[in-house]
Amino acid sequence: METTCNYLKNACQEIKLESKQNLNLLALIVVLLTLPLSYAVNSITILFFALTALFSFRKNNFRIEKYLIAPIILYLLMVISIFWSQDVNATLKAISKELPLLIFPICFMAMPALDENKKQFVLKYFSFGMFFYMVFYLIKAIIRYLITKNSAVFFYHDLVNEDLNAIHVSVYMSVAFFYFYTKISESNLFKTISFLFAIFIFLLSSKNIIIVFVFLVVFYEFYNFKKSLARKKTMIGLIVMGLLLLVLSPRIRDRFSSEFHSNTSTTGNNKLDIQGNVNYVNVHQAWTQQKFQQNDYFSGTAFRVYQIRIFKEMLQEDPILFTGYGLNATAFKIKEMGKKHAIFSGDSTHDGYQNKNFHNEYIQLFAEMGIFGFLLIVAIVILNLIKGIQSKDFVHISFAVLTISLFLTESFLSRQRGIVFFTIMYCLFNSSTTSKDIKIS
């Protein structure tokens, strides 16, 4: 307890000292720490960060950084798409939402270059902030369980709330986990925090994130030269704990089992997949079946296969290869395809499949921006991974791998929290640690 109090005391002193020297860093941390809060609060902190960067601007600090140009180009392409957008009003609304893709790279290039210590400072307090959010959500879940006796409050969207989104929170928590996990030899506190993060990530029940998370932990241990018996025990403990949660928790187990069934079933007959009045659609059916029924249920994988399939049909029907439909202008076409294939259109308690986006960032940008948008986002994530490997920073590598995987199952950049988190982390990891890039004189 005394050690924790001393640590918190030192942390407060560090924040106070750093904020006097570089208010931009404190403002950046505040933006990250308000991600789980309302959009209005997060937007205010973004404005605060932009203003601190503006008031601290010095002409000799401004430089052009090649890695940070890519998000700016992506944003400009989004803006230009208004000229061919199939839904101008939707595009206009989305242009302001996507502004972080422009604001953060420009601010990072205008600020004094962040050395490695300053980057670690931001990651450190972001990670501690996520730890306190995790504790809050767990305490909240325990209180709700005592009131309702419903164990669902410990899992998936119920653990955090659907608007915040369990999958998004899983990404935040995973990056924070790897910050502590790569430093567990420094402190027993970090080891404890790492175990708690791992439990929380499993409770959030994002199948994609859990699989990538386990892969990254194993990869780090087998390819890290600082291996020790203690580290191996920690890794084994994390994996065993994860397996126990999968086996003992029906809710987590059921989410994986439904995916396994839809991925392994390739027949066109789903009579054996009927549970009550619900037909479970398999991957093969999602890709080939022309008409569905209102009681057909798509698992996560089957639904994403269906979305890729209808995008392929859009390419065949409309001349969108080079332009797409425009930023945020695909909803009408997805609804049109939903009617064409007669998928579940919703009822009094459930939203219809036709109201969901592509749940795939690569496909989403291809459909909105055309092939140039697709190639640009692919280039961004690949460059991010290459830079992470070159820097040998495993937190950066974990962020890059999580992003590549996440973009396969989520339209992450269609939501403000996703845009802000991705752009800040991308700029933080890929900005120069010195001012050697092209300077503007």
Please say if the pLDDT value at position 267 is more than 70.
no
Least confident of 38-42, 352-356, 373-377, 403-407: 352-356
Phi first, then psi: what are they for 438, rounded to 5°? -65, 120
- Model pLDDT, residue 269: 47
% of residues, the chain, pLDDT over 70: 85
% of residues, the chain, pLDDT over 90: 65
Please say if the pLDDT value at position 441 is more than 50.
no
List of residues 6+ apart from 237 with CB closer than 8 A: 195
Q: What gap in Å lies between CA 197 and CA 418, rounded to an integer?
A: 20
Q: What gap in Å lies between CA 54 and CA 56, rounded to an integer?
A: 6
Q: In what order do the strands lie in the sheet with 296-298?
A: 274-275, 278-281, 296-298
Please say if the pLDDT value at position 273 is more than 60.
no
Phi first, then psi: what are they for 296, rounded to 5°? -85, 125
Q: Which of 91, 127, 101 is nearest to 380 (CA)?
A: 101
Query: Would you report the helix, strand and coil content of the chain in percent, each value rounded to 5?
Result: 75, 5, 25
Look at strands 296-298 and 278-281 and give their pairing. parallel
Q: What gap in Å lies between CA 429 and CA 424, rounded to an integer?
A: 9
User: At 177, is the pLDDT very low, low, confident or very high (cuts 50, 70, 90)?
Assistant: very high
Q: Are the C-beta atoms of 71 and 101 separated by less than 8 Å? A: yes
User: At 184, is the pLDDT very low, low, confident or very high (cuts 50, 70, 90)?
Assistant: confident
Give the model confidence (pLDDT) of 117-171 as tens digits.
Answer: 999 999 999 999 999 999 999 999 999 999 999 999 999 999 998 899 999 999 9
Give the CA distances from residue 162 to residues 153, 302, 405, in Å, rounded to whole numbers and listed in that order.
Answer: 12, 21, 21
Please say if the pLDDT value at position 304 is more than 50.
yes
User: At 404, is the pLDDT very low, low, confident or very high (cuts 50, 70, 90)?
Assistant: very high
